[in-house]
Amino acid sequence: MALTNTVENLAEEQKKEKESLDLFLSTQTVIKEALDKLGYSNNEFELFKEPLRMLTVRIPVKMDDGSIKVFTGFRSQHNDAVGPTKGGIRFHPEVNEEEVKALSIWMSLKCGIANLPFGGGKGGIKCDPRIMSFAELERLSRGYVRAISQIVGPTKDIPAPDVYTNSQIMAWMMDEYSRLREFDSPGFITGKPLVLGGSNGRETATARGVTICIEEAVKKKNIELKGARIVIQGFGNAGSFLAKFMHDAGAKVIGISDAYGALYDPQGLNIDYLLDRRDSFGTVTTLFNNVITNQELLEKECDILVPAAISNQITAQNANRIKASIVVEAANGPTTLEATKILDERGILLVPDILASAGGVTVSYFEWVQNNQGFYWSEEEVAEKLRKVMVDSFENIYQTTHVHQVNMRLAAYMVGIKKLAEASHFRGWV
């Protein structure tokens, strides 16, 4: 039985690594297409197709039972031509090098789209925080910072929360970095608790950004947001806050899901009840009997579909069965390139991930600025500044689709990569 489980785990790991490689290669494909559309040469593609730096570390952690377990961690820095690199740290059992590399490239593009003075970074540790104790997570978090401390910092590379990491983990990491540097350094990391230099509005920033994109998208499709039927795949940080924001805006959230299944009610779900019952990992469907699959949920009739879970959810196999008028990607890479083409041909407006989820890094930038100046803004100020960035970014990309006759994904890549290319030219890198 143990051998069977080991073989199954290995097969699953290899499958995930292949998916991550496909994601990475797809990212390179669109970057090449975007650079070609903008008239750049192969020199720029050679510079941007891979991260400038990729660090792999092994982190020994003493577990609660006294044993030592060694975890593998990564930190990718895609490009720092514009400024320090910036990007989250995820704790997940399926984290791998290709995924982290692809995510760091997307962070560069997000920062370019939002006109932030950052390049893209990303980090991750291969672990399952759902089965680790509080003390084990703290030891792992501090060990990771010690392992990557030479390549990160407020003017080098600024981490942030991501999948299965939160403000508490950011606090441990900031404290460890401050100990190593022998001075307090809140600007080293963002997504911290407010009392340690965090920013108002950071926890809800990604969902706020997605909300603003939805508000802009429905205008383009002449859909009234009030009463619009919305399906959200994923009920973690982004998905749960988004469900609340959509409900409060008068939209009808008719479907949500987590890793174990999905809930669907064409009359609308009781969002406040679901938010009250979800656990810290975004799980809520295990409390119900009438559960459908995530794939079934994606194909339900709705006005707006928001994939807010994992990658490769809308593919060539199911894209023709998507019944939404608008798809807004709150997750990273939820729609394959083949599916993007199918949705585009069907007249479905797809708001790509590197635009829709840019709210998180935008408010992380605001937090970094506030840390540097020692002056903090109200939640209203943060929300106002975020709205301007997201609306301007959406409009810039939407106009690019018309000027160059391309879809929203390619337009977003074009806008995002242009700033990197210009900065690299001025530096003499290409």
Token pair, residue 143, equals 């060990």
Q: For residues 103 and 86, give the distance between their C-alpha atoms in angstroms, rounded to a whole number.
A: 11
Q: Residue 205: phi, psi to the nearest 5?
A: -60, -45
Domain ranges in the chain are: 2-35+47-185, 205-356
Question: Which among 187, 182, 240 has a CA at the least distance from the CA of 211?
Answer: 240
pLDDT of residue 53: 98
Whole-number average pLDDT of the chain: 95
44 in Cβ contact with 35 (< 8 Å): yes
Neighbours of 41 (CB within 10 A): 10
pLDDT tens string 233-242: 999 889 999 9
Summarize the annotated binding site for NAD(+) as residue ranges: 206, 237
Q: Report the pLDDT value the prediction gives residue 201, as an integer from 0 to 100.
A: 95
pLDDT tens for 245-256 read 999 999 999 999
d(CA 100, CA 20): 9
The answer to whether residue 104 scores a pLDDT higher than 80 is yes
Q: Does residue 54 surpass a pLDDT of 70?
A: yes
105 is written with which tokens?
């490239």
Beta bridge partners of 26: none
| 89: CB partners within 8 A, 6+ apart | 122, 123, 124, 125, 144, 159, 160, 161, 162, 165, 169, 173
Token digits for 174? 């900031």
Residue 332 predicted with pLDDT over 60: yes
Per residue in 284-325, pLDDT (tens digit) is: 998 898 999 999 999 999 999 999 998 899 999 999 999 999
| pTM given for the model | 0.93
pLDDT of residue 182: 86
SS (HEC) of 132-183: CCHHHHHHHHHHHHHHHCCCCECCCEEEEECCCCCHHHHHHHHHHHHHHHCC
For residue 83, give the 3-state DSSP assignment: coil
pLDDT over 60 (residue 105)? yes
Rg, Å, the chain Cα set: 21
Rounded distance between C-alpha atoms, residue 412 and residue 423, angstroms: 18
Q: Which helix H or strand E contains 66, and what residues bound it?
A: none
CATH class of 2-35+47-185: alpha beta
CA distance 210 to 277: 23
Segment (H or E) for 267: none
The identity of residue 392, as a single letter, is: D
Confidence of residue 282 (pLDDT cuts 50, 70, 90): confident
| 129-187 residue pLDDT tens | 999 999 999 999 999 999 999 999 999 999 999 989 999 999 999 999 999 998 888 89
Domain 205-356, CATH class in plain words: alpha beta
Pairing relationship of beta strands 119-126 and 68-77 according to DSSP bridges: antiparallel
Is residue 236 within 8 Å of residue 282, measured between CB atoms?
Answer: yes
| Positions at the binding site | 86, 110, 206, 237, 364
Q: For 280-313, give the secondary structure using H, E and C.
A: CCCCCHHHCCCCECHHHHHCCCCCEEEECCCCCC
Rounded percentage of the chain residues whose pLDDT exceeds 90: 88
What local confidence, expressed as pLDDT, does residue 181 receive?
A: 92
Question: What pLDDT is recorded for position 6?
Answer: 62
pLDDT at residue 7 is higher than 90: no
**How far apart are alpha carbons 306 and 298 in whole angstroms?**
9
Is 122 a known active-site residue?
A: yes
Which residue out of 49, 101, 122, 244 is catalytically annotated? 122
pLDDT at 68 over 70: yes
Give the C-alpha separation, 119 to 106, whole Å. Answer: 10
Place of tokens 């009808």: 252
pLDDT at 9: 67
Strand-by-strand arrangement of the 229-233 sheet: 261-264, 252-258, 229-233, 304-307, 326-328, 349-351
Q: What confidence tier does 10 reach under pLDDT thresholds 50, 70, 90?
A: low
Each residue of 362-407: pLDDT tens digit?
999 999 999 999 999 999 999 999 999 999 999 999 999 999 999 9
SS3 46: helix
- The contacts of residue 321 (CB under 8 Å, 6+ apart) are 299
- Average pLDDT, integer, range 273-291: 89
- Would you say the CATH fold of 205-356 matches that of 2-35+47-185? yes
What is the end-to-end Cα distance of the chain in Å, rounded?
A: 55
Within 13 Å, how many C-alpha atoms sit on residue 84's CB side?
19
pLDDT-derived band at 107, boundaries 50, 70, 90:
very high
> What would the pLDDT profile of 154-165 be if each residue is shown by its tens digit?
999 999 999 899
Confidence of residue 3 (pLDDT cuts 50, 70, 90): low
CB neighbour list of residue 7: distance below 8 Å, 6 or more residues apart: none
